[in-house]
Amino acid sequence: MRITRVLSTALLALGLAAGPAAADSSPSASPSDDSGSAPTSAGTSFRTATEVEQGQKATASASTGDYLYWSFPADSGGRPTVKATVKFPDEHVAQTWQIDVYDGLRRRQACQYGAQTRTAAQGAASVELACVLRTVRAWSEPWADDPLPGTYYVRLTAVRLQAADLGLPVSAELQVNSKDIGGSSAVDGSLAEPLVPGIAVESKAKDEGDDDSASAVLSSLEPDDGWASGWWSDRWVWTAIGAALAALAGIGGYTLTRGSGRPRNVPPGA
């Protein structure tokens, strides 16, 4: 009977702790798409990249041959997915479009999967591209090319164009979402500062008491709950569950082996 109570307690603890862990591994909630505040233009370089919140649908009008740049924040534990749609006029030649993603150090990040480059046939109404990045890590070796927390840049452009194809009007749409991967991607360690252009200058200016330091930051967007929000993961939950189950197993083993504490040759009424 005592063993049954121990096992029931263990199962109950496992169920209560697994609930938050399962919720943590679900896709992260995206901000509502407010068309009134969504960007309607794109930058032409890294320095002029238009900032986009995750979950927003940014739009831009451009011409074939233009380089369109956007930027978005990505924190540790998330796996960003960048999707772009290019819409063409009724009559156009075949065009090949490509989407590239760069981190805060302007290192080109490889797509884990997705159609990063696609060709629109002559007369096609639109072409869709996608790039699913690797999970953003809280820390990495200096020589590694792992995605790290900070500002990410998206570049959308047509490639392998002929001179006669330049200047045709197009419209582009961009949307970024992230899936929270959870403790399976957690690492020990974190960056001193996220890879945001100018944030190191801002931190130094704040230490020196300069109130105008905010102007040094070239990217003002950050995750809703702040940078380094991925310090908590379900790995902590499962570690606690393992410790609790080990303690309960020790109690159960002790209960089984210690007996009733009464010598077998002594009558119960003695």
Q: How wide is the angle at C-alpha 29 spanned by C-alphas 23 and 31, nearest 5°?
A: 165
Q: Sign of the C-alpha dihedral, residues 246, 249, 253, 255?
A: positive
Establish if 113 belongs to a structural domain. yes
Establish if 265 belongs to a structural domain. no
Q: What is the pLDDT of residue 26?
A: 39
Rounded to the nearest 5 percent, the helix, strand and coil shares of the chain are 25, 25, 45
Establish if 65 belongs to a structural domain. yes
Q: What is the pLDDT of residue 138?
A: 84
Q: What is the pLDDT of residue 263?
A: 58
Q: What are phi and psi of 233, to 5 degrees?
A: -145, 165
pLDDT < 70 regions, the chain? 1-36, 182-189, 198-220, 228-238, 259-270
Terminal alpha carbon distance of the chain: 26
Establish if 98 belongs to a structural domain. yes
DSSP for 187-215 reads -S---SS-B-TTHHHHHHHHHTT-TTGGG
How many CB atoms are located within 10 Å of the residue 55 CB? 18
Q: What are phi and psi of 165, to 5 degrees?
A: -90, -10
74-126 pLDDT per residue, tens = 998 889 999 999 999 888 888 899 999 999 889 999 999 999 999 999 889 99
Q: How many CA atoms lie within 13 A of 12 on its CB side?
A: 7
Q: What is the pLDDT of residue 88?
A: 92
Q: Give the residue numbers spanning the domain of 27.
A: 17-239
Q: Sign of the C-alpha dihedral, residues 241, 246, 252, 255?
A: negative
Q: What is the pLDDT of residue 155?
A: 97
Q: How wide is the angle at C-alpha 213 spanned by C-alphas 210 and 219, nearest 5°?
A: 170
Reported pTM:
0.70
Establish if 127 belongs to a structural domain. yes
Contact 94, 122 (CB under 8 A): yes
Measured distance CA(133)–CA(36) in Å, rounded:
28
How many CB atoms are located within 10 Å of the residue 101 CB? 23
Q: What is the pLDDT of residue 6?
A: 45
Q: What is the pLDDT of residue 164?
A: 77
Q: What is the pLDDT of residue 30?
A: 41
The CA R_g of the chain, rounded to the nearest whole Å, is: 27
Quick one: which H or E segment has residue 113? none
Establish if 109 belongs to a structural domain. yes
Phi-psi region of 198 (alpha: psi -120 to 50; beta: other; left: phi over 0): left
Q: How many domains would you assign to the chain?
A: 1
Q: Please list the alpha-helical segments (H only) found in the chain.
A: 2-24, 199-207, 234-258
Contact 194, 227 (CB under 8 A): yes
Establish if 248 belongs to a structural domain. no
223: its two tokens: 């995750």
Establish if 244 belongs to a structural domain. no
